[in-house]
Structures are given as structure tokens and as C-alpha cells.
Amino acid sequence: MFGSLLYLLAASAAFTGRGIFAPISTDSPAGIAGGEIACGAPPVSSFFVGLNPPFPTNTWWAPYAAPPGNATAAGPFPYESALYNNGVVFGISVNRQFDGTSIKQPTQTDWRASFAEHSGNFANHKATGFDTQTVTVQYFQGGATMTAYLVPGSPYMTFQYAGATPLLTSMNGAIQSFNGQTLAVGASVSATGTGFTVVDSSGSTYLIYALSSITLKATAVSAASGTIQASGAFSGVLRVVKLASASHKALLDQYYQVYPTAVTLDYSFTDTTGTLIFDWTTVGAGSNLLMLTYPHHRIKLQNPNFPATTALGYLTTKGWMYPAIGNQWNMLYDLTSIKWDPPRALDSSCSAAVLQGLEYEVGQLVPSQAPVPGDFYYWGGTLAAQARLALIADNLGRSDLVTPVINYLEASFAYWFESSSSTLPAYETTWGGVIDKAGATNVNVDFGNGYYNDHHFHYGYFLSVAAVIAKFDGNWLNQHKDYINWFARDIINPSPQDPYFPITRCRDWFAGHSWASGIANGAGSRDQESSGEAINGYYGALLWASVALSQDYVNYANLLLTTEQHGAQVYWHLYPQEDPAGRDNPYPEAAVRALTTMGNVEDWQSGAWLFWGAEKSEIAAIQILPVTPVNEVLYDTQWVENVWSYTMPELVDPTIGDEWKCVIIDAYSNANPQVAAEWSANITDWGTGQTFTNELFFIGTRPNPSGTPICGSLPQNPYGNFKIQLASNGNYVAASSVNTNLVASATSSSAAATFNSAYVPNSGTLMLVSTSQYVTADISGDYALAAIRGTASTWERFTIRQKVGASSGVYSIKATSNGLYVTVGSDGSLINNGANEAASAGFKFVSA
Ligand SMILES: *[C@@H]1O[C@H](CO)[C@@H](O)[C@H](O)[C@H]1NC(C)=O
Ligand SMILES: *[C@@H]1O[C@H](CO)[C@@H](O)[C@H](O)[C@H]1NC(C)=O
């Protein structure tokens, strides 16, 4: 008695939660600013007949439901499949290719499963049920049915017939032999029993298992096709499986009798871990369920029952699928404890520079100039970067700098609540979700948001911004919590009880990561090309849950975050160091792993490419950004060192944008913060999704085992009022309201112009004091610098540094506009056309 009580206490301390969580809320989003709207591509009505939305949009089987309803689905792996008018087609690609950029296994259709009575009417198939991973599809004709249990990870395709005559049609060549008997074209052969073997003319072998005895007749219809048809109506189960190697038959023979029909997703939590649980519903003894694992499963599975990898295996674009026995998988993950702040204080060597940048960047945020949203994606990325400034200010004890950021964020966020706004969120009624209203019937708006593309990317930013506001403004939270929850429910609803949103829209629980693709283009192939923003989707949800929801949703968001990071590390990060023969190496080919990072992971191919860019630094950066403290785990040392050397030719190339370099430098700081700090001083443009402050704050809060100060002495422009003197001949730079060009023509200090040199992070501006006009440098590098701008933007920024090799106090000047150095022409004009530091003229800055 006493003992079991202790056990119960221990158990309740260990398990803070177990089971499917309740809905975040069940209230209707109809009151959202854009009201309700219908997507231009609603689900195929015959497919969901008898079922009501919400429906999954980004799942592997979205092509079954998205019009026209017959595109190739991303599974159930190891198979890919499609629902045709006349049956379920499926196959396993054996054509693995590497073209130097991508690993590809083009979809292959081996067989079609149907029954003889089916009319071929497209409307005569429907979904009868689905869960977080599986879907059950029924083909029907009168009283005859074939029910397909489409379960990712099952080596067998499972078809249950009721009063129907099973019919399998070969789609990849003629039938060459059936149960060992060779068939000439036109010939037939019959066999009765529970196990059959068929070989087609492409050389592929399939096994057909019947759970009760059946008579099948194979007919070599033509040189291109063949059929296997039962002798009559059958009520029972067939399991069809590709035999990739003769040595696999023993295991397949042993376990075919137990089949999965559905799966329950479950999870349990301790303070530091989350266990993801797959619990398959089976017919037959669950302990004898034979399934296939991906590498990420094998890495995390607890107490697995793995047969030898030689017993069964299929090579997919995610590496080898190998067998596991049993109907419950428990995958254990270490959850992060990082939320708003990094897990250590800012290195004191970086404090002054970070604070100076913070004051500057917060000073730029004028609430009356807060952006009016013009889209979801760029608005979110930009505002989330500004929101980090409030968190950094708070971390550094500068509450005076928090409030201005919050005011700015609130001013911009307010547009999402107004029905008069030009960009509006609306509730989409045919699938069930919040979309960009303007994109409801136009897939080209906002990266296809209206067709359910990229919601976790977009709403992760929304939730980050909202969470930061809510952290510092409880009234705002109270006022807008239900509204913001509509965005949270759109991407992390955990429950089938939410009447408005599908479960965790983007996550493919079996694949171990999310898909960005929604239902556009028939939901064709699935892809995700920004693992960084996918992770951020769940990070935004974690922050929101931390401030607005209960611990259950904090745990759930943390599990999503942690698993997405792990998926990125297994399938996006490439490690040339990995053992080519390693069981859990998803890319056995060394040449693939030499590419260091995947750009896009799809269902049938993965490659170092992007839809929008080809540079190495872009491909790597989109897997890194946005930089937040929670990515301490993601930026693992081996990978960031690989990325550092792989992208180095671009990191020193002035034609490659700083906005990509800056995030690579940040990721690298996780391995070497001192070097990253030095390199970060080269950056003068952080793009819209990053700030100077966040860049250096991240670097300054890295693990630092050596204890060496991280920031050292970071170079700065000389700031103050100066006359600028050309070192070579002693002439001073002149400029005036009449002659606005900068020309080194003044032979005396009294004839020289006075410039105010002011701080901008890592660089500065030069203002002609007599006219209050900023000096600008044309991007062409063909014209003299001129003091002609009333306000300073990026073309009015210069990096002024001690010139290498020159005597102390002689500086080079680099223009931010084109990354080129300032030289002096024969007429004395200052022109930003010097290719490198050595080409720069030397200038002295004489205090004025
Ligand atoms: C898919 O459906 C469309 C529209 O009904 C049809 O035109 C097309 O032929 C179908 N494709 C296949 C492979 O069945
Ligand atoms: C950036 O900074 C590092 C270290 O200070 C330097 O070695 C490197 O050459 C710089 N790269 C460019 C492109 O300026």
C-alpha cells in the first residue's frame, strides 16, 4: 500500500501530462477582421462526402482531397500513391539519381488496386476517416467495397474487400511470372492460397498476402500490362508488398497477418523531456505489427525491437527505412528550457556595443511610422525582428527601451484588428483556417497563403510579435487573446475537438517535420525549404503559449519545436563527416553530403536549391534564420563549421548580400564566438529579418569555454565633427551648397568643409554641417560622393576604418551602397569605385 502510493506520487511528478490535449479554444473565428471567405480550390466534395471541415491541408495525403484529387501523394512511404477514378495506384521508386544538386527518386507506379465491379466513376471513392497520420479510403460500387488503410511506415499496402472481386493491375510492365510460373502474352495462370508472388517485366517483385484463402488468376494481358483477379467476390484482406530483395521474404511472411488501420498520436512530458508516442490500432496482435522506421525515428526510439537491417529495407529520399516490430513507438526528446532569453548573460566585452546599437535601433522605431501591413510574410518577419529588441532591452535591464518597441509593435499590429485595413486575415470555410483574404482565390498572393502554403512560417512571426507585446502589456493580452489564438489554432491546434482548425496543420508526424505546401496545384509534391522558419513557427507558438496559454500548450509547442529542430538536423543539415554506411545516415552518397545543407526537402527529391535563389549562402541562411535564442541546439558545432567553410568564398564576396552573411556569422558564433564577433563588424545591412543588436547579442551570449572576451575591440568609425584631409597630398575635402560634390581641392584647413560623422551600427553617416545634407554614394560608383540627401538611408552610410598598412590615423572609407572603397580622381573628386581596401585613398579625420 505504502509502496504503491509512493509509486503513484513518483509517477505524477514524472508525468506532467499525457494524452491528447484539449482544444486551445472552440470559439468561432467568424469575427476576424476579414470575415469569412471560401478558397478557390475547395476540397473534392465526393472525397469528403459525409465529413465536415476542418480538413487537413498540408498532410502527405492532401492530393487525395485537393482538386482534382488524383495528384501523387507523399506516401504512405515507402510507397507513393494516387487515387485514380479506377483504383489506388502505388509504387516504390527504384530510380535513385543524384544530379549534382538533388537526390531524386521520381515517383513510380507499380500497381493499381481495385475490384472488378467498380465502374471507374471518380465519385465512387471517399475518405471514411483520418487521423494525424493515416487516412482510410473506400472505393465502392453498390454493396461492393474496397477499403484501403493508408498508413505511413507500413511495408504492406492493405486492402480490405467486402463483397468485391479484387483486381490488381500492373502499371509498370507486363506480368512475367506468377507464383514462379512464366506467363506468355495472352496466357493466364491461377493459384489458390494465402501467399502469391508476381514479377513484372521491369523486374520488380511483389508479394500478395491474403488473410484468408483466395483464388487469384494472373493474366498477361499485353506486353505492357497484366491483371490479377480473384475468382469471385471476396470478403477479406489482401496485403501487397514490394519484395526488394529475396532475403526480405522471411520477415514479410512472418508478420503479414497483423495490420494497422489507424494511429493515435500521444505524448507525455517531464520537466525536461517530451515523449512522442505513436500507438497504432491493429487488427491482430499489436505486438506483432511490422512497421518501417526512418532515421529520425531510430535515433529517438526507446526500447526498440529492431530486426536486422538486412531483414527488410527500402531506400527513400530520407534514407533507409528499416523494420521495427510492435504497435507502440516511444520517441524521447530533450525539450529546451530556452524561451525568451539565452541561457547565459551577455559577455561584458559586448555590452557597450550591444547597448549602443540597441539605443540606435530602438530610436528608429517611431510608432507613427509603424508599418501598415501589406502582406503577412514580410510584415511578420520584419516586426518579429523589431520585437526581439524589446526582449534584449528587457534582458539588459533597460526597461526604458522596452516601452517604445511595444508601442511601435502595437501600432502596427492594430491593423490586423480593423476590417478597414487593406490586408486582412479571413476565416476560410471550405478547409477551415485563417488565410490572407486577398489570396483566397489567387495562389500568387503571399506565397500561396490563401491555399494554405507557409502558414507556420507566417503565423510563427505573428505569434512571436503578439507574445512579446503580451509579455509587457497585460491589457493588450486580455483584449486580444482570443483573436491571436485564431492564428495559434491555425498551426498548433492539438485536438480533434476544435471545430474550426485541423490538427497541427503543417506537421507530418511520421516524416518528422512540417510541409510548407498546402493545397495549390492539386497539392502535388510536398516541400519545405525554410527549416529555420518552420522551427520559428513553433517557437512563436511556444512564446505565445508561455504568456497566454496553459502549461499543456507550452509543452505541446515545445515538442513541436524540438522535433522540427531534430528533423532539420537529420534531413536538412548535411555532414560530410558522417559514416556513408551508417544506419541512420539519410544520404549515403558522399557527394550529396558535401553540399553541406539542403535547400528544399520534398517527398520525392531533396536538394541544395531554392525556389528563389541559388547561392550557397542563401541556401544555408534560410535554414538558419530567424536567429533566436532557441536555436542554440539547431546550430550544432559540426554543421556550422561545415557551413562556414562551405560558404566562405561567398562570405568574402562583396556582391553577396550582408543579409545572408549576417545570419551565417551568427550561427557560426555557436562554435566560435570570438571569430564571429570580428566578422560581424563587417556587416552593414541586416535585411528586414535581423538587426545589429540581435546579431551581436546572440554572439555575445554564446557558450564560451575559453573565457576569452567575445567582442574584443570592435572597430568603429571616428564620430564627431571633422575636416577630412587626403593623406597623400594634404588637401582637404571641400563641399558646399553650390558645389555639393565632395572634392579634395581645399589647400587650407579654413577652406575645408566640416562634416558631422554620426553613429550607425558598424558604420556611420557623414553630414555636411553647413547645409545639413547627408553625403550619398551612388550605387554605380561612377559619380562623385555628394552632400545632397535630407535623410540618411543605406546609400548614405560609410564604413571608416584604420587603413591597413598606413600610418596610424589614416583611414579607408567604404560605401555601403556598393561595398566599394572611396578613391580620389584626377580632379580630386571622391568616388566609391575602389575594388578593395588597398585601392582606397587614405584620409585623416581632423577634429573641427
Ligand atoms: C486527374 O483528373 C483530371 C481531372 O478530372 C483528369 O483530366 C486527369 O486525366 C486525371 N489524371 C489521371 C492520371 O487520372
Ligand atoms: C571580415 O572580417 C574578418 C575578420 O575581421 C576579415 O578577416 C575578413 O576578411 C572580412 N571580410 C570582408 C569581406 O570584409
pLDDT 10s digits, 197-217: 999 999 999 999 999 999 999
Average pLDDT of the residues in 755-779: 98
**Site residues for ligand 2, CB cut-off 6 Å:** 652, 678-679, 682
Q: Which fold has domain 348-700?
A: Glycosyltransferase (1.50.10)
Is the CB–ligand 1 distance for residue 84 below 6 Å? yes
Copy the grid coordinates of residue 33: 477582421
pLDDT 10s digits, 314-356: 999 999 999 999 999 999 999 999 999 999 999 999 999 999 9
Tell me which residue of 286, 272, 288, 276 sits closest to 329, measured CA to CA. Answer: 276
Q: Which 3 state secondary structure label does DSSP give 732?
A: strand
Pick the residue whose CA is nearest to atom 7 on ligand 1.
Answer: 68
Ligand nearest to the CA of 684: 2
How many Å lie between the centroid of ligand 2 and the Cα of residue 679?
A: 6
How many Å lie between the centroid of ligand 2 and the Cα of residue 681?
A: 8
Q: Which fold has domain 720-847?
A: Trefoil (Acidic Fibroblast Growth Factor, subunit A) (2.80.10)
C-alpha to C-alpha distances, 552 to 503, 542, 803, nearest whole angstrom: 15, 11, 57
Split at pLDDT 50, 70, 90, the class of 9 is very low
pLDDT 10s digits, 23-74: 999 999 999 999 999 999 999 999 999 999 999 999 999 999 999 999 999 9
Pick the residue whose CA is nearest to atom 12 on ligand 2.
Answer: 652
C-alpha to C-alpha distances, 85 to 122, 135, 493, nearest whole angstrom: 4, 18, 33
Ligand nearest to the CA of 63: 1
Q: Which atom of ligand 1 is least distant from the CA of 71?
A: 1
How many Å lie between the centroid of ligand 2 and the Cα of residue 678?
A: 8
Ligand nearest to the CA of 801: 2
> Which H or E run contains 219?
strand 205-219
Taking each helix axis as running N to C, give the angle between helix 399-413 and helix 455-472, from 0 to 180 degrees, rounded to the nearest 10.
130
Tell me which residue of 837, 789, 784, 785 sits closest to 810, measured CA to CA. Answer: 837
Q: Which atom of ligand 2 is least distant from the CA of 679?
A: 2
Ligand nearest to the CA of 661: 2
Whether the pLDDT of residue 476 is over 60: the answer is yes
% of the chain surpassing 70 pLDDT = 98
How many Å lie between the centroid of ligand 1 and the Cα of residue 146?
A: 21
Cα Rg of the chain (Å, integer): 31
Q: Which atom of ligand 1 is least distant from the CA of 82?
A: 13
Average pLDDT of the residues in 253-264: 98
**pLDDT score recorded for residue 19:** 62
Task: Out of 45, 70, 124, give the residue to mutate to test ligand 1, the one with the largest number of ligand atoms within 8 Å of its CB.
Answer: 70
Is the CB–ligand 1 distance for residue 120 below 6 Å? no
Is the CB–ligand 1 distance for residue 269 below 6 Å? no
Q: Which atom of ligand 1 is least distant from the CA of 85?
A: 14
CB-based contact 85:120 (threshold 8 Å): yes
Rounded to whole angstroms, the Cα distance separating 529 from 571 reads: 11
Rounded to whole angstroms, the Cα distance separating 367 from 619 reads: 34
Cβ atoms within 10 A of the Cβ of 635, count?
Answer: 25
How many Å lie between the centroid of ligand 1 and the Cα of residue 70?
A: 6
Ligand nearest to the CA of 677: 2
Cβ atoms within 10 A of the Cβ of 287, count?
Answer: 12
Q: Which stretches of 177-332 are DSSP H helices?
A: 249-255, 295-300
Q: Which fold has domain 53-250?
A: Beta-galactosidase; Chain A, domain 5 (2.70.98)
Pick the residue whose CA is nearest to atom 14 on ligand 1.
Answer: 84
pLDDT 10s digits, 686-743: 999 999 999 999 999 999 999 999 999 899 999 999 999 999 999 999 999 999 999 9
Split at pLDDT 50, 70, 90, the class of 530 is very high
Pick the residue whose CA is nearest to atom 10 on ligand 1.
Answer: 70
Whether the pLDDT of residue 2 is over 60: the answer is no
Cβ atoms within 10 A of the Cβ of 418, count?
Answer: 10
Tell me which residue of 688, 39, 34 sits closest to 422, measured CA to CA. Answer: 34
Q: Which atom of ligand 1 is least distant from the CA of 122?
A: 5
Q: Which atom of ligand 2 is least distant from the CA of 678?
A: 5
pLDDT 10s digits, 588-610: 999 999 999 999 999 999 999 99
Ligand nearest to the CA of 683: 2
**pLDDT score recorded for residue 697:** 98
The letter for the amino acid at 669 is: S
pLDDT 10s digits, 535-581: 999 999 999 999 999 999 999 999 999 999 999 999 999 999 999 99
* Mean pLDDT over each residue of the chain, to the nearest integer: 96
**pLDDT score recorded for residue 10:** 35
Split at pLDDT 50, 70, 90, the class of 654 is confident
How many Å lie between the centroid of ligand 2 and the Cα of residue 807?
A: 20
Whether the pLDDT of residue 309 is over 80: the answer is yes
How many Å lie between the centroid of ligand 1 and the Cα of residue 69?
A: 8
**pLDDT score recorded for residue 69:** 98
Pick the residue whose CA is nearest to atom 8 on ligand 1.
Answer: 70
Rounded to whole angstroms, the Cα distance separating 464 from 541 reads: 7
Whether the pLDDT of residue 13 is over 60: the answer is no
Is the CB–ligand 1 distance for residue 379 below 6 Å? no
How many Å lie between the centroid of ligand 1 and the Cα of residue 148?
A: 20
Task: Out of 652, 653, 714, give the residue to mutate to test ligand 2, the one with the largest number of ligand atoms within 8 Å of its CB.
Answer: 652
Pick the residue whose CA is nearest to atom 3 on ligand 1.
Answer: 68
pLDDT 10s digits, 407-432: 999 999 999 999 999 999 999 999 99
Pick the residue whose CA is nearest to atom 11 on ligand 1.
Answer: 70
Is the CB–ligand 1 distance for residue 70 below 6 Å? yes
How many Å lie between the centroid of ligand 1 and the Cα of residue 85?
A: 8
pTM of the predicted model, to two decimals? Answer: 0.95
For 292-348, give the DSSP string. EE-HHHHHHBSS--PPPTTTS-EEETTEEEEEEESSEEEEEEEPP--SSS-SSPPPH
> Which H or E run contains 543?
helix 531-548
Pick the residue whose CA is nearest to atom 1 on ligand 2.
Answer: 679
Rounded to whole angstroms, the Cα distance separating 314 from 298 reads: 15
**pLDDT score recorded for residue 20:** 81
CA–chain centroid gap for 590, Å, is 24
Q: Which atom of ligand 2 is least distant from the CA of 653?
A: 13
Ligand nearest to the CA of 123: 1
Ligand nearest to the CA of 662: 2
Q: Which atom of ligand 1 is least distant from the CA of 84?
A: 14
How many Å lie between the centroid of ligand 2 and the Cα of residue 474?
A: 45
Whether the pLDDT of residue 16 is over 50: the answer is no
Rounded to whole angstroms, the Cα distance separating 537 from 676 reads: 26
Pick the residue whose CA is nearest to atom 13 on ligand 2.
Answer: 652
**pLDDT score recorded for residue 352:** 97
Q: Which atom of ligand 2 is least distant from the CA of 651?
A: 13
The residue extents of the domains of the chain are 53-250, 262-334, 348-700, 720-847
